[in-house]
């Protein structure tokens, strides 16, 4: 439960041009967001692919790469027809840095990485202030930006969703990783009691719920496949809740079940199954496709197994794989409902109801994920569970980051930095 130093909700009137750099999982993204007030905005963005090596190389090199991409983006977007910069001499652009890993923050533009998640493992970064590391890279490449805020994707999603729909009280990400954010009363945040922040203020909390039950494994029921996923990961013991839910792991869970049945001689007898034996080759996107296969013969599933893994399947096997995908996907959604229910209960949102802004590849692409979350909420709360409604959120890592950069600028200009 991490205090984010994002104070309160946006007014919807935030306006101006802001940059956002999003380092969150699969891609690196640079966005230019023009906030137009009245909850409206426009956005231009460029995505850059991150290699597996970059995720495990020296951390400073990763931030250097971020800075290089940022420089290319600015050179492209702030240059006139004759190749001259359109920025005034000495002008810097405000930048929100969306860094979607658990960080302890002491102020909005500081963030000490607690641990990498989602398979990242860049060296010499854990325990260090990533804002400062990124600032060093910005200085090295002489990029005309001022990094005003470091933001988790869930906090960005909370703020972006509220900017366009003020009924949003909670934000969740179900993607490569999973997590949630909500707005808390400062008076109830023990961790920042000593800072003497105005008691009437509110602050967003980055729950980092992916870490729930890590190491102890006391609360979440795990199968032997979950235990293997955990023990063979680059971070054994950590992110216990996330490993049951997020897109990075669901395909791997299914693959482990298949491998066990191959070893027992139940599946694919006499076929060469080596392609299924590499960890993480079975993508979570395959589970989505398997669940949404509309044909009686399950032709999509035939396609996946022949094309990617060079094995033939019988109809009975395909029906079994689909049933398995449904179990894994459904469990992920229902556990996610538990997380949402915990925040709803803590904040007393059940009677009046609230919107939950949700984003991430699982939520957006996995068939029936949202419906299963809603089913779970009704099982937990009874009919009142219908008051809690998830909806596809605005782009928190881009737009949300820009809005938070804008909110921070307003507060700084009013002399309210670092705290209110
Ligand atoms: C990270 C969170 C992030 C979530 C969704 C998790 O692995 O720890 O900070 O919000 O993934 O991207």
Kindly give the distance from the C-alpha atom of residue 214 to the centroid of ligand 1, in angstroms, as a whole number: 14
Q: What is the largest CA-CA distance in the chain?
A: 73
Handedness of CA 258, 260, 266, 268 (dihedral sign): positive
Please determine, looking at this structure, whether the domain spanning 2-207+335-414 carries the CATH number 3.30.70.20.
no
248 within 8 A of 282, measured Cβ to Cβ: no
Name the closest-CA residue to atom 1, ligand 1: 101
**Strand residue runs (E) in 186-274:** 202-206
Q: Which ligand 1 atom is at minimum distance from the Cα of 242?
A: 7
Structure tokens at 370: 């949202």
Q: How far apart are CA 237 and CA 232, in angstroms?
A: 10
Per-residue pLDDT of the chain (420 residues; tens, 9 = 90+): 999 999 999 998 899 999 999 998 778 999 999 999 888 899 999 999 999 999 999 999 999 999 999 999 999 999 998 989 999 999 999 999 999 999 999 999 999 999 999 989 999 999 999 999 999 999 999 999 999 999 999 999 999 999 989 999 999 999 999 999 999 999 999 999 999 999 999 999 999 999 999 999 999 999 999 999 999 999 999 999 999 999 999 999 999 999 999 999 999 999 999 999 999 999 999 999 999 999 999 999 999 999 999 999 999 999 999 999 999 999 999 999 999 999 999 999 999 999 999 999 999 999 999 999 999 999 999 999 999 999 999 899 999 999 999 999 999 999 988 887
Helix (H) or strand (E) holding 42: strand 40-49
Residues 6+ apart with CB under 8 A from 153: 22, 24, 98, 100, 173, 179, 359, 396, 397, 400
User: pTM of the full predicted structure?
Assistant: 0.95
Domain boundaries, the chain: 2-207+335-414
Q: Are strands 388-392 and 178-185 parallel, antiparallel or unpaired?
A: unpaired
The residues facing 183 across adjacent strands are: 204
Backbone angles phi, psi at 404, to 5 degrees: -65, -40
251 lines ligand 1 (CB under 6 A): no
Which residues are identified as catalytic?
Answer: 100, 115, 153
Name the closest-CA residue to atom 9, ligand 1: 101
C-alpha neighbours within 13 Å on the C-beta side of residue 78: 22
125 lines ligand 1 (CB under 6 A): no
How crowded is residue 13: how many other Cβ atoms within 10 Å of its Cβ? 13
210 lines ligand 1 (CB under 6 A): yes
Kindly give the distance from the C-alpha atom of residue 417 to the centroid of ligand 1, in angstroms, as a whole number: 26
Q: What is the 3-state secondary structure (H, E, C) of 203-217?
A: EEEECCHHHCCCCCC
Residues 6+ apart with CB under 8 A from 277: 259
Name the closest-CA residue to atom 3, ligand 1: 100
313 lines ligand 1 (CB under 6 A): no
What is residue 358's predicted lDDT score, i.e. its pLDDT? 98
Tell me, rounded to whole angstroms, the distance of Cα 39 from its chain centroid.
Answer: 23
**8-state DSSP, 110:** -
Name the closest-CA residue to atom 12, ligand 1: 177
Helix (H) or strand (E) holding 17: strand 15-23
173 lines ligand 1 (CB under 6 A): yes
C-alpha neighbours within 13 Å on the C-beta side of residue 232: 13
105 lines ligand 1 (CB under 6 A): no
Q: How far apart are CA 383 and CA 235, in angstroms?
A: 39
Residue 21, Ramachandran bin (φ over 0: left; ψ between -120 and 50: alpha; else beta) = beta
3-state class (DSSP) for residue 277:
coil
Residues 6+ apart with CB under 8 A from 56: 120, 121, 122, 123
Handedness of CA 243, 336, 368, 155 (dihedral sign): negative
**8-state DSSP, 30:** E
């Amino acid at each position: 439960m991490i205090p984010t130093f994002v104070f309160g909700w946006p007014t919807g009137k935030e306006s101006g041009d802001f940059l956002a750099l999003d380092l969150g999982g699969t891609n690196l993204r640079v966005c230019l967001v023009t906030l137009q007030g009245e909850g409206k905005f426009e956005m231009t963005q460029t995505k850059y692919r991150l290699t597996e090596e970059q995720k495990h190389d020296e951390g400073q090199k990763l931030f250097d790469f971020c800075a290089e991409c940022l420089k290319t983006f600015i050179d492209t977007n702030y240059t006139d027809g004759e190749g001259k910069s359109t920025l005034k001499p000495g002008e810097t652009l405000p930048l929100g840095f969306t860094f979607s890993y658990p960080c302890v923050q002491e102020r909005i533009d500081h963030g000490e990485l607690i641990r990498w998640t989602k398979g990242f493992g860049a060296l010499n970064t854990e325990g260090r202030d990533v804002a400062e590391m990124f600032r060093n890279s910005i200085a090295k490449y002489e990029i005309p930006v001022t990094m005003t805020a470091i933001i988790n994707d869930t906090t960005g999603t909370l703020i972006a969703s509220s900017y366009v729909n003020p009924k949003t009280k909670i934000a969740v990400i179900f993607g490569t990783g999973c997590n949630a954010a909500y707005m808390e009363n400062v008076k109830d945040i023990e961790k920042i009691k000593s800072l003497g922040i105005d008691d009437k203020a509110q602050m967003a909390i980055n729950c980092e719920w992916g870490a729930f039950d890590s190491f102890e494994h006391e609360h979440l029921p795990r199968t032997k496949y979950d235990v293997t996923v955990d023990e063979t990961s680059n971070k054994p013991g950590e992110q216990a809740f996330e490993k049951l839910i997020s897109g990075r792991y669901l395909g791997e869970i299914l693959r482990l079940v298949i491998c066990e049945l191959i070893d027992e001689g139940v599946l694919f007898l006499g076929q060469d199954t080596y392609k299924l034996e590499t960890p993480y080759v079975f993508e979570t996107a395959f589970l989505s496709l398997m669940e949404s296969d509309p044909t009686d013969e399950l032709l999509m599933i035939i396609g996946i197994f022949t094309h990617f893994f060079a094995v033939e399947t019988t109809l009975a096997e395909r029906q079994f794989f689909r049933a398995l995908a449904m179990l894994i996907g459904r469990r992920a959604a229902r556990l996610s409902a538990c997380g949402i229910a915990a925040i709803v209960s803590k904040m007393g949102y059940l009677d009046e109801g609230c919107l939950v802004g949700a984003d991430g590849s699982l939520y957006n692409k996995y068939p029936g994920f949202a419906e299963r979350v809603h089913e779970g909420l009704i099982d937990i709360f009874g009919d009142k569970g219908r008051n809690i409604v998830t909806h596809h959120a605005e782009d928190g890592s881009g737009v949300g980051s820009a809005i938070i950069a804008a909110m921070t600028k307003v507060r700084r200009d009013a002399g309210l930095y670092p705290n209110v």
